[in-house]
Amino acid sequence: MPIVIEKLTYTYQSGSVNAFTAIMDVSLTIHDGEFVGLIGHTGSGKSTLIQQLNGLMQPTSGKVLVDGFDMSDKKQRAKGRALVGMVFQYPDYQLFDETVYKDISFGPKNMKLAPDEIDRRVREAMRLVGLDFDEFAEKSPFELSGGEKRRTALAGIIAMYPKYLVLDEPMAGLDPAGRRAVLAMIDDFRKQLGCAVVMVSHSMDDIARSADKVIVLRDGAIFASGTPAEIFSRSDELYEMGLEPPFAARMASELKRHGFRLPGGIYTNEALADALAAYKGGDLNV
């Protein structure tokens, strides 16, 4: 069963002079096992939208159904929330326990799992995020580097085996190697756990690589939604919105402007390279 969002509107400080509608009439569906990329300029409402997915905020109007559980209903919300794992942008808001091991087991413990099941899951989560058990299990989460903290925070959610994994800009502030590692990790446990992933990111290059579906938010409303090929073929529009389309998509669009006859739907470096290789032997200056 999917997550269904129907005509969702959310207003901050509703009814006061500072009322601000951050999400306006958004409808979308997230299917089982799907990888959804959510992009939009800063302040477009990405964080607000994904916090509705596990009921941390409730819609001002409209509905959020997680596998049929209505997230506006207090009793159903608890059941729905158990299915959605949420990783926030800053690990500093989450880490609190004495050791990495204890911190990761916080979620599973709240799920009232058996101790040996908790142990198994913590070990597996640490392996999946690439934290060496012997080295990190007994370390304090506060003496870790930024990247290690992020891995620990991620492991804390993965250990809960969510059916839907929601990540708010998981790669912000990481170097290219760190970004690739996190992305590989997400792909990894998507395969292992079979979970759906909703990832918020500024970098479309990251999303282009793995997403099945891309949703573009603009000022709290859905600007475009579709397959990466569909979305990134509109790279000029995205660029004007202040977003950075994938490098390959922009390059392809630029080359076409110069008269290259390239096929549509190029948004990865590989596809661009293939298309250019097809010109080999042919005349490049059409």
Chain residues that interact with other proteins, rule: CB under 8 A: 13, 17, 51, 54, 56, 81-82, 84-86, 88, 90, 92-97, 106-107, 110-111, 142, 156-157, 160
170 binds ligand ADP (CB under 6 A): no
Residue 27: name its binding partner from ligand ADP, Mg ion, other proteins, none (Cβ under 5 to 8 Å by kind): none
The reply on whether position 9 binds ligand ADP by CB under 6 A is: no
- Pairwise CA distance, residues 209 & 99, whole Å: 34
In angstroms, give the least distance from the CB of 125 to ligand ADP. 26
List the single partner that 136 binds among other proteins, Mg ion, ligand ADP, none, CB under 5 to 8 Å by kind: none
Q: Which of residues 15-74 bind Mg ion (CB under 5 A)?
A: 47
Instruction: Please give the size of the binding site for Mg ion, defined by CB under 5 A.
Output: 1
44-83 footprint of ligand ADP as x/- string (CB under 6 A): xxxxx-----------------------------------
Q: Segment 18-47, which members bind ligand ADP (CB under 6 A)?
A: 20, 22, 40, 42-47
| Residue 45 interacting entry, from other proteins, Mg ion, ligand ADP, none, C-beta within 5 to 8 Å by type | ligand ADP
Q: What residues make contact with ligand ADP under the rule CB under 6 A?
A: 12-13, 20, 22, 40, 42-48
